[in-house]
Every structure is written in structure tokens, then in C-alpha cells.
Amino acid sequence: MGTTERRPIIEMKGIVKVYPDGTRALKGVDLTVNKGEILGLLGENGAGKTTLMKILFGMLQPTSGKIFINGEEVRFKSPSDAISKGIGMVHQHFTLVEVFDALHNIILGMEGHGLFSKIDVERARKKLQKLMDDLNFQVPLDIPVEDLPVGVQQRIEILKMLYRDVDVLILDEPTAVLTPIEVEELFRVLRQLKAEGKTIIFISHKLNEVLELTDRVTVIRKGEVVGTVNTNEATPQLLARMMVGRDVVLRIEKPPKEAGEPILKVENLKVMGDRGEVAVKNLSFEVRAGEIFGIAGVEGNGQTELIEAISGLRKVSGGRIYLNGKDITGKTPRELYDMGMAHVPEDRTHMGLILDMTVTENSVLGLHWRPKFQRFKGVIHWGKVRKHAQALIEQFDISAPGTEAPVKSLSGGNQQKLIVAREVSKEPVFIIAAQPTRGVDVASTEYIRNYLVKLRNEGKAVLLVSADLDEVLQLSDRMGIIYEGEFMGVVKPEEVTTEEIGMMMGGIRYEEIRK
Amino acid sequence: MNAGDVITILITSLMAMVPIVLTSVGAAWSERAGVVSIGYEGVLLMSAFFGAIFAELSGHATIGLLGGVLTGVLLGMLHGALTVYLKGDHVIPGIGINLLAMGVVPFGILAYWGTAGQHQLPDNAELWHIKTSTVELSPMVFVTILIALVTWWVLFKTPLGLRVRAVGENPEAADALGINVEKYRFWSAVYGHALAGLAGAYMSVDWLGLVHKTMSGGRGFIALANMVFSGWNPLVSLIGGWLFGFFEALATWLAPKHIIPGQFILMLPYIMTLIIVAGIIGKARPPKADGRPYKRE
Amino acid sequence: MKKSGSDLTKALNPRPFIESLIAILVGFIIGAIVLVAFGYDPLAAYYWLFTGALGSARGIASTLKYATPIMLTALTFAIGTRTGIFNIGAESSFYFGAIAAVIFTNIWANMWFGLLMGMLFGALWALPAAALKVYRGVHEVISTIMLNWIGWFFVLWLIVGPYANPNDPNKTIRIPEAARLPEIGYGLSIAIIIAVIAALLTYFLLWHTTMGFGMRASGINQKAARYAGMNPKLAVMWSFIIGGLLSGLGGAMKIMGEGPGYAISQGGANIYGFGFDGIGVSLVGRNHPLGIILSALFFGMLRAGTAMMQARAQVPLEIIKVIQGIIVIAVAIPSLYDLVKKAVHRGAAQ
Amino acid sequence: ISSGGEESKTGAIAIVYDVGGRGDLSFNDMAYLGASKAAKDFNLDLVELQSNSEDDYVENLRTLASEGKYAVIIAVGFMMTDAVKQVASEYPDQKFAIIDGSDPEMPDNVMMILFKENEGSALAGALAGLIAANDGKDKVGIVLGMEIPVLYKFEAGYRFGVKWAEDYYKQKEGKDVNIDVLYQYTGSFGDAAKGKAAAQAQLSQGAWVIYQVAGGTGLGVFDAVEEALKAQNKKMGPPFAIGVDSAQDWIKPGVIIASMTKRVDVGVYTAVKDAVEGTFKGGVVELGLEEGGVGLSTVDDVMAMFDSLPEDTQKQKLKDLGFNSRDELKQYLEQTRGQVPDWIWDAVKQLQDKIVSGEIKVPAPMDKDGIEKVRQAKTWQDMQELAQ
Ligand SMILES: Nc1ncnc2c1ncn2[C@@H]1O[C@H](COP(=O)(O)OP(=O)(O)OP(=O)(O)O)[C@@H](O)[C@H]1O
Ligand SMILES: Nc1ncnc2c1ncn2[C@@H]1O[C@H](COP(=O)(O)OP(=O)(O)OP(=O)(O)O)[C@@H](O)[C@H]1O
Ligand SMILES: [Mg+2]
Ligand SMILES: [Mg+2]
């Protein structure tokens, strides 16, 4: 790690934050950020990382505590105050106007000239192009961002802040949705920014990333700072222990197991994407009992369409899908759930849960019609459902204020656990697990991964789709690498190198690599 | 149909278009910023009333129009305060404003002018019209077209418009860039209601030269439909509003011919709107954060 | 009975109830200021308002009578809101329910048949908006506003033409006596009971059935509902259909259960406006069927007390409308509850 | 607003308006006029009740009846017929009067006051037809509110008058004329814009005189005609509008040649007078041309209407119209009528006399079939057949 001039640029002292609903998210946090360093911020879901950073960015007002920038006390009433002091933040949940293109998203609020004059698009474009060229960090400027992959959206978020010429850049879990290649690219840019003298606060749940990128790491647990260490003195085990307060098994125990009968069989599957393009091309594979079949690949290469087709959410344009030997092509999700399929969707807040409904209600989504939850046909027996929810909470150690709390009051990790719990309670023979640990803290990640292995050990078939290559490598018995809707190869993780996988993800077929 | 008829239908439709277009342009702007209101019917009625008072007191129709705008501004501030600052429901105050107007206006007409239910404006309180020997046209038609154009231009070409749209699509995003979401939303609501206020005053001091206790005649709601019809685009609102006015004028012109029962003729503008929307326009996507209060915490 | 506690508590959550109550109070206070400003005596006005509405069996009967139709149209709006739809088509479904009741009870003079046909035609008239929404993505605000007008003129044509009463052309043909809703007393028919049952059923449907669960889930998050194996399109369809059904029932009962005419008046004078009034009722009832029962009763009371308020306190109808408007606006202030709570706490602390 | 409850009053009367309420420029306003005059003359309190919707009628009537202190309760409008019937049977000792409504089974404590609007409208039709014929025009118009059967009487009477005018003109000038009646039901009583558009369409299609029977919607008719006049730099018609129900000429002097008056005020006054003087009798009282219950407004009628406005309002109105005194208004109204030759006024008078004497009968269709037959009829004689 480079030697940094040890001058604090930011000091936060005794920050306390009590949310209006009474949640004590921060209980007196001190944080120091030195000029020109990359500071890692670690902590479990709900530890208070985002809250702390939003306070620094002026989006939230602290209940008490002081903030100093370059030794001078500041009070931010809004983000514009923070930005004017050179602090920028890239949010955990993207804050992009989806219908605007990148250019307008970036210049928003800094359009130049008066409010009523025509926006000088060309000038802005030139300025932006120069910025992008300097960093070698390109995004298409004229496409509505909703049509862009998340990786690109992430870049736009970063450019948005750089365009404002900030000295301190806060990145809240920027890598959660990125592919390995994108992560590498991001790190390159961050290092370059650091070299230019910028200060970066980097939040992540991924220990290896923090170890690779940062200079120092501050760990927060339950609204309090556990400690700060120099990265070159830290180990994954140390950080994990600091975060969780106990030892964490970072390797997944996966006993070898002979796979059984094919449970899911996909034959020559063809699926169209939203824009009428062929998203999945002639894909064939099978997932056997007692096997985790992983799908790796850069996001946007047909994974979503594939999953949706298998789970009955998207029309199949060609080919067949079989579950337990029965043709299930064109069946509805509900029919599939009743036939023993379960589905942990990739986006928990939009697909997996209904945030405004209670834990009880969410615990029965997709099983609500089952006779065991019915008083009589068509009438839900909420008493039984509540017991079911209670059982899931206990069995999966979900921390929730209660079964009648809205699910949005749960932390991300616990939300994800609830989904997994619910899906498992469907007693499936086949489970689709899409991005099962995205944005989930170490402890929950550990839990969920182990649980998937447990399901496999119990003889269930698991289809794992993840942008986290480590996850796929660690969990899969076999894996397919998808590129533009086709498998570049189907391999066993232990038989290939990371480089080879990288090449396949880039569109080179396994046969060609091995030639 | 001869040339004279065509001109009559055209002029009638242009005059009828004004209140609908103004209101839907205002509503479109307000909803682009994320503030929904269904109280425009009441705003139209109240500003028709207060606009007329302003016009008479000053002896100038233009002051009357401004009085209508002022009425709209005040009602918009009420709506904005409730929805933007107090984070209240967006639909409820509108219903309240409509009810309020139904009480205030008939009461006010009797209390202020001493005539029950209606009042005729004197000539000096009516707006000057462009006249030929057969027809006359209000300059407000051109003002309306101009307002629609300018509103469209500002909304889609300037920093102000960009921010307004951002605030209605994703207030978090705007907030994170230091845009004062509440300020933009509040003043957008005010602008929306102000245009409806202008529309109401137009009805009394310009179009009809009278105040009547139910003169808004459902135009506030038609304007909302037109706003959706236009996909929240002021320029398309202009066309939509004119089309509606056109079909209404056509229906009125056809009515004395009694080809089909009168009630079916009266349906014409509504059926045509439905057909156009179903057949051509289809899906309209409202601004994403439309009608949703924004709270930081 | 061991009731699923979760649900009951949710159904009876006191907070929205108290909020609405405070809003009503604020409305009355501002209303009093208005009354004073125009030289009326607010105490007398309110005294007669409540006496008129609740001071006698007759008054209570008319409160209940007024509450009936708006309760049903409010349910239509509430079901829409709960399913993510801004359905303002109750108005015209109400017309169709009314005219269907008139037509079909004159074919077969049976009360149930009349109610059934009212519901059926109310629902049928809601279908175009549903279909346009599901298949063409047409925003329901446009379709329902347009359909309200189209339905209005269509029903006007029916009542002045084919179904005008030859003996009394100011009305349609009457509901045959055999098909009228039985009276409970004081001119009040069983319509109110049916309306309350409809509200309870609506509550039951939305919160206790798989179908209602699907509808509510789709209303909040279509995508998640789809992922959970529900059918949001179907939910939208059902929302319109059940909504239309309820308003249709309201329209049918308006004519079948309310004398003296038992017919639609020319110009639609006795079937007009209930759909729009229902929106306010639903909102004050927080779009919850149980809240709507209370809020409809409240609005019914305001209407029922109006006569006394005019006659005895000489307050003109317009002022009463102003007060209603203020109450509705006050309901929109969400923090009223907190503001009052804070004030109370501060008061208690001192 | 009603007169306060001073001690000195000798009694009270009450009036229940229908949903149009005060300001409908029609029977509600006229009823108020009669009631307030009666209240003054007989030193009575006047209590007014507005109705928010049709559902309120029973409630309003019952509330008043239960007080038992009103000499008579007046219900304004045919829509209250059933309600009056019900409440009157509940309170047999309370006297009621209903305007425009009748029922064969009405209890005998109810006076039912009906008007022969068809007869008055016939005069309006004759006036319109003769003005058009005299000016060589071949169309007149009528703009109506919502299509409800009560309006058929107005339309039929108007048509009758126009046909009669054709015949009269032919006999007078020896020239065949054929005058079409453009008619339109606007679907509303409260949307002036609709009335304006309707009148503009009729004017552009050649209507020379337009009779409005559309309440608030009709206000737009006056505006449209005024605009047409102004476009030709005329202050006075033709083209003209004809007002309805009350003597509306004062609303736009110069534009409105006359109004078909329906003297609801007279009816109400009579009911109160009878009640106070103890001569009240239940049953139908039908007021036609003969009884002065309907007619064509005279300048005096208009001035009386004008005088009934509050004083401030009168002053303001004069100022708005650009007159210095009440007399100037009167002169102006006379001048307006002067635009129409005397022989036309005489002719209308002739028709009136014939109707009064029973020599001529004006059809009064009650339903769609009835009005359809009148529309089909070729001559006034054919129409008269329908009046049997
Ligand atoms: N708006 C809010 N209202 C109430 N409580 C909140 C709110 N936002 C966050 N919290 C709570 O504050 C605590 C800290 O949340 P925060 O989002 O800061 O955690 P985090 O460390 O960023 O977690 P993650 O890793 O899941 O992003 C959590 O308990 C969370 O539930
Ligand atoms: N998401 C939904 N939205 C709207 N209606 C639904 C939804 N899900 C189910 N329904 C309807 O609700 C009714 C009862 O639903 P339920 O889920 O109990 O079906 P079921 O009849 O028990 O199932 P099956 O048809 O498998 O026997 C059915 O008519 C169904 O069409
Ligand atoms: Mg966070
Ligand atoms: Mg004018």
C-alpha cells in the first residue's frame, strides 16, 4: 500500500442517529478519514454504514455529533452543502433517473447557465468525454439508463460525482452488482483517482475486495465502531471476527456427492428478451438430484430470461423444459410451484418480497393457496400462516421486530434469509437460486451458502445463478458459463482455471480454449 | 358543411380548447414534478369567480385573468403545503377543494353580486377579442398555445425542466444531487394550479362573460384525462385538448341535424377520446414518483 | 373463537381512525370560524346538525339511508386503490346498476333478481376499462372518466326513451312492489344492511382470501406478485369487476330500496354524483372497508343533519358544503395525529 | 339568505328548492320572488331550504312539517311530487303547495300549481317565427337543457307558434314561408359553455331567433347571440334570443327580445295568500295564458324582475350596462322591442287571445312519442289535433 500523508480530511465525532421510528442506528460513532487514502468500511447488514455515510453526505441529519472537514466544523443541511465541500456519494441503491440518459443524469443540478436557458448539451458532452477519456472509463451517453446494464449504471453514478469534482468519494457497496471484470475495472479507476489525490470511502461486504483495495479498514457493528486496522495488517478471519463478533467459517464444507437422476432438463431452449432480441439461444442442460448446477457469466447474457423461462414467468419461443420427466413448458409459476419448484429471485426488493406487507404475509407468498394454509378452499387461515412465519424466523434465525412488522423494516440480509426460508418451506425438489447473497453480509452469506449445500446434500437439485464468480466456483458441482444466451462451456469448477472462465465469460468456447 | 360551418367549428373548438389545455398543461407540469391533484375542477370554478371580481374591480379583463392566476396560486400553495411539506395524500385535498368550490362560489355570487347563481360581466371586464364580421377569437387562444409551447420547451430543454422531471421521476436521485425536492415540487404544484386558475378566469372574463355556479362543467376532470392522454407532455396536451374541443364542437354542430338520438351525439367527444387512446396511444407511463410523498428518513 | 390476532389488530388499528377523527374535529373548528365570519351561530348550527341526524329515530334512519349508496361506491374506489388502480368509474357503474334494476324487475318482479342484475350490469360497465387497462395499457383515469360520460348519456337516453313511465313521464317505470327492498322502519330499507354486509365481505375478500391476497399483492408490487405465482392481470380485472359489482349493487338498491318514487327520475337526478362522493368517503375511511362503513355513516350524518341546520339555524347549504370540503382537506394532513399527540404530551408534562 | 327571526312576525312560511337551487334563473328564483313578496306583505318569516340532491326532498319537507309552525310549505319543482305526496300524508294538518307537480292521489292538504308552458312557448314561437319571416329568414332555434319530458311542452309550444306564424305570414303577405326549427338538447342545465356552443352552431346554420330553455346553460345562448350582434356592430337584434321562466330580458337588454314567463311567483304568492286568509284549497290549480300564469314578458314584467334585485345589485347592474338610471334601462328595453314591427306584436297578441278564448289549442306532449308527433306535424292545425 502506498504511503499516505496522514492528515485527516474528514473527522466525524460522536455521531448518534435515532430514526423517527426510534431505531438507534448509530450510537456515537467516531470516524477519521485521511486525505488521499482509501478507507474501507465494513459491517454486517444493518450495522449503520449507510446511515453514517448519508449523514456525511448531508442526506440525513445526525441526532447528535459533529463533523469536521479539514479541521473545520461543518453542518450539512442537504447534499448540496456536502457537494460544495467536495464530498460525493455513490449510493447503495442507485439514484438514477431511469428515463434520462447518462448525460442528463450526470449534469442534473449542474447544468450551467440560468435555470431557464437552454441546456448546453454539447458543452457538457465535451466535458464528460474528457473526464471519461482521462479515466478510460466509458459509458454511452445517449441511452436511457433504464436500458443499460447495472454495471454501466454504476459507472454513471461514479461519473456523476466526479463531474462535480469532489475530493472525497463515498462508494456504498459499489461492487455488489458488478461482474469480476467490472470490479477490476472499477478498482483500476479508484486507484487512479487515489493517485490523483482523491480520498475514497469504500463500503463492501466482500472481505477480499476490501483487503485488495483499501489502505485502512474501519469496522462497525450495531451502530458502534469496533475498531480500525491497517489493511496490510489485516486478515479475512480478523475482519470477519470484528464484524460478527465471533469466528466465521469462510470456507464452505462441501462433501463430495454422487449426483442422481436428472430433475430439470432443458432442451434447445429459445427465449426472447424484452426488446425482442433472442436472449437465450438453443440452450440445453440438466440439473440432477443432489447437485448444484451453477451458471456464471457477465450479467445481461440471458440469465434473467433463462430463469424466467424455467420458472414459467416468460414465454418460451422454442425448445422444451422438463421437471422430473414431465414436460413443464408453458406452465404457470403457480403450477410449477405446486410441482416442486422453488425460486429465490435475483432482486429481493422487487421480485422476492412485497415490502409494504408484513413478514407473515411475505412468508406465504407463493404458497398461500396450499391447503395447509386454508381455512377452507380460498380462505386463508392467517393463524396458521403466522405460525409458519414464526417457524421460519426461528429456524433460519431471522432477526425481525415481529411477524406483523412490515418486511421493509428488516435488514437486507434478513430479507434475503426470509426469501430463502420461504422457498425452502415449499419443500421443493428443484430450487432456482439467483444472486442469493447479493448485498448480504458475511454471516448471512455464510448461512445461505451452507444452506444451499445442505439442500444439495439432501438430494435436491439446485440451479445457482450468480454474478459472484467466487460463489459459483465454491458452490457448484458443475457450472455452465453463459455468453449471449449460449453456454461457452459446461465444466466442473475444479477442472478449470479462473483465467479460462474469464475467457469463456468473454465469449470464447471451452473447446477453442482447450485446443 | 360549407366554409362558414368549418370556421364556426374551428373557432368554437379553439375557444373550448383553452381551459382544457391550460389546465392539462399545468397538471402535466405538476405531475412531472410528482404532485398529483384532482382539485382542478374546483380551481376552475373558484378562479372563474374570483377572476371576475378582479376584472370588475379593476375594469380590466387582464387583471381578472391575473386574479384567476392568483386564486390558482393560493390553492396550489394550499395543495403544495399539504402534499409536499406535510407529506399528505395527494388525492384527498383535491376532493376537498372541489367540495369547497361548490360551496364558496354559489354563496359568493349571491353575497357579492346579489344575484343568485349567476352574474353577467360588464363589457369593460371582458377581454378584447379579435373580430371579423362573422366570428371572433380570443387572444387567449394564442396565449394558450404559447404557454403550452413554452412550458414544453422549459420542461424538456432547460435545467429547470430537467430538475422538475428528475424530482418527479426519482426524488432520491435529485436530492442526492443537492436539488431541493420540496421546493421544486411545491412550486410545480403552484404553477399547475396557477394555469388552472388562468383557465377558470378565462371562462368567466373572456369566453363566456359570465359567472355561473356550475360553469366548470367537468372540464377539470376532462383536463386530467387529457393530461394522461398526452403522456404528460404539454405539447401533446395542446393537440389533445384541441381534438377534444373539436369533437365537442363537431357534436354540437351535428346535434341540430338529429341523425341519431341527441344523447349519442353528446357522447361523441368521449368515445373519440377513448378510441384514440385505445387505438393509437395505448400505454401511458406516469412519472415514476407521481403522487408519492418524498421523505428522506 | 381464536381469531388470527394479527389480522384483527390490523383491521382495527386505531391510528387511522383517530387521525380521521382529528381531521373531522379540525374541519368542524375551521367550519365554525367560517360560520362566525358570515354571521351564523356555530353552536346552533352544529347542535341542529347533530340533532337532525341523530336526535330521533327518523334522523338516524335518514343518516343510514344517506350512508348506503356512498358506502358502496366508496368500496369500489377502495378496492381499486388496494389493487393499485385509480378507479373512478363507480359513478357510471352506479347508473347501470340502477337502470338494470328498473328494467329487469319489470321483467321478473323479484328483489334478488333485481339486485343480481344491478350488480351484473355494474360489473359489465366496468369491463371496458379493465380490458383496456390489461390489454392496451390504457390508463384507468382516462377510460373511467370517458366511460362515466358515455354511460351517463346512454342511461339518460334509456330513461327518457324506452323506459320512461308512460303514466308519469318525469320518471322511469317503477320498481314493482314485489321487487322493492323490505322496509325496516322510518322509510329505511334493508339496503343499509346489505351495504354493510358488502363492506364486511369486501374486507373478508381482501384480507382473508387467496384471491384478495393476490389482489392486494398485485396492487403493491406487480412483479413480486407475478413471481409469487399470482396473476396481476387477473387481479386488475377482478378489481374492476368487483368494484363495478358493488357500485351496481348501490345503484340497484338506490332505486329498489328508496321511496317514494322507486324509479329513476328524469335527468338522472337521483342517481347522479354518488360515485364521486364515494371517493371522498373512501379516502376519509382510509380506503379500508371497515373504515368506509364509519366514514359513510359520518357523511350520511352530515347530509341528514343538513335539513335541520338550514331550517333551524338558517345556515345555507353552501356553507355546509364548505365545511365538508374543509373536513376532507384536513383529512389529508397526515401529521395531524402526531401534532396533536405532541401537544397533548406537552400539555400533560406541564 | 333568509330574513331573521324577528319577534314581530305573525307567522312563517317555508320553501324547499329543488336541486337547481336559487340562481337557476327559473322556477326556484321565481318561487323565491313570490315567497319573499308574500312574506313581506303578510309579515311572515320565510325559511328557505336548498336541496343537495333529489334524496333531500323528503328529508327537507319532513323537517319543516315536523315543526308544525308554517302556514304553508312550498315545494318547488316537479321532482318533489312523490316526496310531497308522502310527507303530506304523514302530516295531514300541514298545508303544502307544489309547483309543477301533480298526482291524482295527492292528499287534499296539497295545492298543486301547474303551468301551461306550452301556451307561453307558443307565443315565443310565434314571435320568433314572425321575426324570421319578416326578415326573410327561414330558421329559428331552440336550445334546451337535459332531455327530460317536462321540456317537451316548451318545445312543442314553440314549434306550434312557429307553424302558426308561417300561416299568419302567408295570409298577411301572401307569400309561402317555411321556417325550420333547429333544436338541441344540450344534456345539461349548468354549463354555459355548452349553451354558447349550441347557439353558435345554430346561428351559423341560420337561426334568426333562439329560444333558450336551459337554465344556466341558456346563459351561454345569450352570450352567443350578443357576440353575433357585436360582430356586426349592433347593439340590438335581430338576431335575438328569447328568455324563459322569468323575465330575463334585463340580463342582456338588447339581446333578449322577450321572455316566456312562467309566473311561479304568482302561484306561490297565491298559495301563501290563500293559506293566510283561510281560503286554501287542495287540488290542482292550472295557470295558463288565461290566468296570467304564463305569457310573454312585457317591459313592466322585466322592470318588476329588476326591481326585485337588492338595491346595490340594481345600481351595479345599471352601471355595468352603461345606464344612468332605471328609466334609461326601461327606455332601452322598449327600444329593443321597437326593433320588431308592431304588426308582429299585434299578431302575437292575437294568438294569445285565441288561446285564451279556447279557439286555439296548443299541444302539450308528455313523452317522447308525443313530442315526436309534434315534430312530424306539418301545420299548426295538425298540431292542434294532437292537443286533444
Ligand atoms: N429510514 C429508516 N428508518 C428507520 N430505521 C432505519 C432506516 N434506515 C435504516 N434504518 C435502520 O438503521 C440501521 C442501520 O441501517 P443502515 O442502512 O445504515 O445499515 P447498513 O450498515 O448500511 O446495512 P447494509 O449492509 O444492509 O446496507 C438498521 O437497523 C436499519 O434497519
Ligand atoms: N392473483 C390473483 N388475482 C386475482 N384472482 C386470483 C388470483 N389468484 C387466484 N385468483 C382467483 O381466486 C379464486 C380462488 O383462488 P384460489 O387460489 O383459492 O384457487 P383454487 O380454485 O383454490 O385453485 P385451483 O384452481 O388450483 O384449485 C380463483 O377463482 C382464482 O381464479
Ligand atoms: Mg447500507
Ligand atoms: Mg361575451
Cα–Cα distance for residue pair D351/D349, rounded to 1 Å: 5
Q: Tell me which residue range forms the domain holding C68.
A: 60-337
With an 8 Å Cβ cutoff, is A360 touching chain C? yes
Question: What is the mean predicted confidence (pLDDT) over D94-121?
Answer: 94
pLDDT in tens, C232-285: 999 999 999 999 999 999 999 999 998 788 999 988 989 999 999 999 899 888
Q: By the CB < 8 Å criterion, does A272 face chain C?
A: no
- ipTM value of the model? 0.86
Ligand 2 centroid–CA C216 distance in Å is 13
Mean pLDDT, chain A, rounded, equals 89
Nearest CA to ligand 2 atom 5: C211
Q: Which amino acid, one-letter code, is at C223?
A: K
In-domain check, residue C258: yes
Chain C CB within 8 Å of residue B84 CB: no
Q: Which of residues 226-255 of B touch C (CB under 8 A)?
A: 228-229
CA distance C336 to A224: 35
- 10 Å CB burial of residue D49 (0-12, 13-18, 19+) is buried
Between chains, do D55 and C270 touch, taking CB under 8 Å as contact? yes
**Around Cβ D277, how many Cβ atoms within 10 Å?**
9
Contact A98 B297 (CB under 8 A): no
Q: Which ligand is nearest to the CA of A445?
A: 1
* Whether D200 and B8 lie within 8 Å, measured CB to CB: yes
Domains in chain B, please, with CATH? 3-280 (1.10.3470)
| pLDDT at C182 > cutoff 90 | yes
Please check whether residue C67 lies inside any domain of the structure: yes
Q: How buried is residue D345: exposed, middle or buried, by Cβ count under 10 Å (0-12/13-18/19+)? A: middle
Contacts of C310 in chain D (CB under 8 A): 47-50, 60
Mean pLDDT confidence for A25-33: 94
Query: From the candidates A341, A359, A368, A372, which should be mutated to test the interface with C, based on the most C CB atoms within 10 A?
Result: A368
Residues 279-308 of C with CB under 8 A from D: 303-304, 306-308
Q: State which H helix or E strand residue A429 sits in.
A: none
What pLDDT score was predicted for residue D120?
96
Count up the domains in chain C and report the number.
Answer: 1
Question: Which numbered ligand comes closest to the C-alpha of A371?
Answer: 2
User: How far from A501 is each of A181, A435, A438, A508, C246, CA to CA, in Å?
Assistant: 11, 18, 21, 9, 60
Distance from C-alpha of D359 to C-alpha of B190, rounded to nearest angstrom: 66
User: In angstroms, rounded to a whole number, what is the distance separating the alpha carbons of residues D128 and D111?
Assistant: 34
Q: Which atom of ligand 2 is nearest to the CA of A374?
A: 18
C-beta A51 within 6 A of ligand 1: yes
Strands A478-483 and A486-491, sheet pairing:
antiparallel
Residue from A15, A24, A27, A45 to probe ligand 1 pocket by mutation (most atoms less than 8 Å from CB): A45
pLDDT digit string (tens) for D279-333? 999 999 999 999 999 999 999 999 988 888 888 889 988 988 889 999 999 999 9
| Nearest ligand to the C-alpha atom of residue B205 | 4
Res. C26 pLDDT band, cuts 50 70 90: confident
Please state the atom number of ligand 1 nearest to the C-alpha of residue A412.
Answer: 26
Å from CA of C163 to ligand 1 middle:
64
| pLDDT range class, residue D5, cuts 50, 70, 90 | very low
Q: Is C234 in the pocket of ligand 2 (CB under 6 A)?
A: yes
Query: Are the beta carbons of B165 and A57 separated by less than 8 Å?
Result: no
| Dist. CA B206 → ligand 4 center (Å) | 7
pLDDT at A104: 94
Distances, alpha carbon A31 to alpha carbons A65, A202, B235, in Å: 11, 13, 52
Evaluate if residue D2 carries a pLDDT over 60: no
CATH number at C145 reads 1.10.3470
Choose, out of C77, C91, C134, C142, the residue to mutate when testing the contact with B (most B CBs < 10 Å). C142
Q: Which carries the bigger pLDDT value, residue C336 or residue A400?
A: A400
Substitution target in B23, B53, B107, B118 with the highest count of D β-carbons within 10 Å is B118
Residue with cell 409469487: C228
Q: E strands within D105-249?
A: 110-115, 139-144, 180-185, 209-213, 240-245
**H helices within A294-411, ranges in order?**
303-310, 333-338, 359-363, 382-395
Asked if A touches D (at least 3 Cβ pairs < 8 angstroms), the answer reads: no
Instruction: Return d(Cα D151, Cα D141) in angstroms, integer.
Output: 15
Find out whether the beta carbon of A304 lies less than 6 Å from any atom of ligand 1: no
On whether residue C43 sits in a domain, the answer given is no
pLDDT of C102 = 97
Q: What is the mean pLDDT of chain C?
A: 89
Which domains occur in chain A, in start order? 1-86+166-248 (3.40.50.300), 95-165 (no CATH), 262-514 (3.40.50.300)
- Using a CB-CB cut-off of 8 Å, the residues of chain B touching A161 are none
- The pTM (predicted TM-score) of the whole model is 0.88
Q: With CB atoms and an 8 Å threshold, state whether A97 touches B160.
A: no
pLDDT for residue D3 is more than 70:
no
* Lowest-confidence segment of C11-25, C252-266, D353-367 by average pLDDT: C11-25
User: Which atom of ligand 2 lies nearest, measured to the CA of C237?
Assistant: 4
User: Is B88's Cβ below 8 Å from some Cβ in C?
Assistant: yes
- In-domain check, residue C5: no
Kindly give the interhelix angle for B3-32 and B219-229, rounded to the nearest 10 degrees.
80
Residue A5's pLDDT band (cuts 50, 70, 90): low
Neighbours of chain B (3+ CB pairs under 8 A): A, C, D
Nearest CA distance, D149 vs chain B (angstrom): 14
Note whether residue C68 is domain-resident: yes
